Structure 1
Amino acid sequence: MGIENIAVREVEAKSILTRSSLPVGGYSANPYVGCPHACRYCYASFMKRFTGHDEDWGTFVDVKRWPRIKNPRKYAGQRIVIGSVTDGYNPLEERYAVTRDLLEQLRYSDAKITICTKSDLVVRDLDLLTSMSDVTISWSINTLDESFKNDMDQAVNIERRLAAMKEAYDAGIRTVCFVAPIFPGITNVQEIIEQACDRCDFVWLENLNLRGGFKRDILSYIRDKYPQLASLYNEIYVRGNRDWWRNLEAQLHAFAEEQGLPWLDGYLPDGRSKPGSPAVINYFYHEEVRDSENTGVRKLRKG
């Protein structure tokens, strides 16, 4: 679906900042409801039931308007994640520029700004972002295969995401290559790390967690396009066997050690990494994390 076919409306919001349960954020800011990227695995599709939309996910976008943020300095030192359930740099941002307006309001707040995107439009705002005290930009890249990417989302291609990451990195912005969600047997994590290592400070690893309405669609897609993987996906997502994830986690931990890349468990530290040696952040099974006494690799625990 082209952007011209997206149903767009402008809505009034009481506030743009909300308390966040994200592991890296004290607050979330989502200048849009919905997203034209139409990612087939998007967890944020649950937002439909809170906003009165019954259209298919990816076919509508609400553009938020909100009262200006009063006393931005009260957020000094707080993490504010822009784009936790939308992409603030989706193509409509070129027309509406509400994400840029949000950044203007937060410019002198000294908040820790984290932007999550699949777009290269964010580099439009480097003039503003480089003037802020603490900025992190994260790009989602879970494949280097453009045909698989096109099956999964309608965002810009991987080459453009990597180029934007490099431009921001070279401009002095802290960058994250968000390898998520990892599709078993499809996402080649090591190749992505090798491609991104000269343009990011951190590589964040997160598994594909199938839930909600898209689980059936993804499993059907795998049976159709990757029939050789159907039994593996059945084992993981129907029978609940996590051995594949445990093995991949151990392999990637070993790979990071071989490459001299720091391995971190489940948190995003401050600062930047040594050039060419991004820290790898393990966030497998983010809903259940525990430390394994046997392997030293973080594993599963409720909470």
Structure 2
Amino acid sequence: MKAAVKERTVKSIVTRSNLPVCDYSVNPYVGCTHACKYCYASFMKRFTGHTEPWGDFLDVKHWPEIKDPQKYCGKEFFVGSVTDPYNPFEEHFGKTREFLEQMQGSGAKLSIQTKSDLILRDLDLIKTFPDARVGFSINTLDEKFREDMDHAVSIERRFAAMKAFHDAGVRTTCFISPIFPGITDAGSIIDRAKAHCNLIWLENLNLRGSYKAVIMDYIRDKYPKLFPLYQEIYSDGSRLYWKMLDASLHGYAKKNALDYVRNDDTMKRPFSAPPVMVNFFYHEEIKKSAGKPNQ
């Protein structure tokens, strides 16, 4: 894989987070060579000094060893908020594993988000963390569409890794994101995942910044019959599609005896309980409800 790789020293790998799902975020890399066409984190490029396209560079972070990791006992860490911590270069540099080793035994809670089965390398280490949870991003069962959208491992490999973690007693998340209108079949993905996950996150495709034109051009070229729908959503600002999908997913959840909610409480449920579906369609409403009891 060709990418401009640089190594740089940072003061700390731990950053306070305003995400509703954690206290701290951890990103062992800047950039991500999965090169997802829809990557919301591409805004990070303007802070890097890189001229290469997003997806064509990777900065490897080196940080001082974490002192007194026990001070984070009970705190929640989200690993991979703006990078995939298991991008292919992790196999060589091992920065994500280095963080896990430094935090092992601290009592910190851990959530990791990835599109890679390289995370299987660290399964035994991740198992040692209390309330560990591993999420796999899957937004299609169509490998051709997946290949058009990212350079990560196949969907089948992601499902296999999810099953391996779940079989090992680690809570798993199927993150159906981003949902492409008219393309992503959320129900079919849930059918495949529900026996091997505790949580299903559902997030709509948001188009903004430089990648909006990229995706709109792609839809016009590859899915011309859907282009008017995308114009309605992303040019005219209609929420009708998401309201209809919300209603459809409510029906799916009821039919399959799954809870369908706006806030996640799965850590309080038995490991063997059916997965919970969490709707993240309306981000501004999530921010307003962050910290409030489940509704």
Do both share a fold (TM > 0.5)? yes
> In the TM superposition, what are the counterparts of 1:157-168 in structure 2 within 5 Å?
157-168=154-165
Question: Which residue identity does 2:255 align to in structure 1?
Answer: E
What CA distance in whole angstroms lies between the structure 2 residues aligned with 1:201 and 1:70? 33
* CA distance 1:263–1:273, change in 2 (3 Å): farther
Any idea what SS the aligned residue of 1:49 has?
helix
Q: Match for 1:84 among 81, 85, 89? A: 81
> In the TM superposition, what are the counterparts of 1:13-92 in structure 2 within 5 Å?
13-92=10-89
Give the conservation status (yes or no) of the 8 Å contact 1:256–1:262.
Answer: yes
> In the TM superposition, what are the counterparts of 1:184-223 in structure 2 within 5 Å?
184-223=181-220
- The reply on whether 1:250 has 2:247 as its aligned counterpart is yes
* Number of residue-to-residue matches in the alignment: 289
- 1:276 Cα shift? 7.0
Question: Which residue identity does 2:164 align to in structure 1?
Answer: E
Question: Which residue identity does 1:131 align to in structure 2?
Answer: T
Question: Which residue identity does 2:202 align to in structure 1?
Answer: L
Give the conservation status (yes or no) of the 8 Å contact 2:20–2:287.
Answer: no
For structure 1, the 5+ residue unaligned runs are 292-297, 299-303
What CA distance in whole angstroms lies between the structure 2 residues aligned with 1:32 and 1:146? 26
- The reply on whether 1:10 has 2:13 as its aligned counterpart is no
Any idea what SS the aligned residue of 1:176 has?
strand
Single out whichever of 123-132 and 86-95 deviates more from structure 2. 123-132
- 1:271 Cα shift? 3.9
What CA distance in whole angstroms lies between the structure 2 residues aligned with 1:58 and 1:273? 39
> In the TM superposition, what are the counterparts of 1:121-140 in structure 2 within 5 Å?
121-140=118-137
Give the conservation status (yes or no) of the 8 Å contact 1:115–1:138.
Answer: yes
Single out whichever of 105-114 and 276-285 deviates more from structure 2. 276-285
Question: Which residue identity does 1:86 align to in structure 2?
Answer: T
Q: Give RMSD over aligned pairs.
A: 1.5
- Name the counterpart of 1:228: 225
Per-residue CA deviations over 1:146-183 (Å, capped at 9, x if unaligned) read 00000000000000000000000000101000000000
Any idea what SS the aligned residue of 2:173 has?
strand
- The reply on whether 1:240 has 2:237 as its aligned counterpart is yes
* CA distance 1:268–1:147, change in 2 (3 Å): farther
- The reply on whether 1:285 has 2:287 as its aligned counterpart is no
Give the conservation status (yes or no) of the 8 Å contact 2:109–2:129.
Answer: no
* CA distance 1:257–1:17, change in 2 (3 Å): same
Give the conservation status (yes or no) of the 8 Å contact 2:120–2:161.
Answer: yes
- Name the counterpart of 2:178: 181
Give the conservation status (yes or no) of the 8 Å contact 2:140–2:189.
Answer: yes
- 1:288 Cα shift? 3.6
Per-residue CA deviations over 1:27-46 (Å, capped at 9, x if unaligned) read 00000000100000001111
- Name the counterpart of 1:295: none
Give the conservation status (yes or no) of the 8 Å contact 1:201–1:272.
Answer: no
- Name the counterpart of 1:101: 98
Question: Which residue identity does 1:280 align to in structure 2?
Answer: M
Per-residue CA deviations over 1:184-232 (Å, capped at 9, x if unaligned) read 0000000000000111001000000101100011001000000010000
Per-residue CA deviations over 1:81-103 (Å, capped at 9, x if unaligned) read 00000011000010011100000
- Name the counterpart of 2:292: none
What CA distance in whole angstroms lies between the structure 2 residues aligned with 1:177 and 1:209? 19
> How many percent of aligned residue pairs carry the same amino acid?
56
Any idea what SS the aligned residue of 2:283 has?
coil
- 1:290 Cα shift? 9.5
Q: TM-score if structure 2 supplies the norm length? A: 0.95
Per-residue CA deviations over 1:270-296 (Å, capped at 9, x if unaligned) read 2455647211011112234599xxxxx
* CA distance 1:135–1:274, change in 2 (3 Å): closer
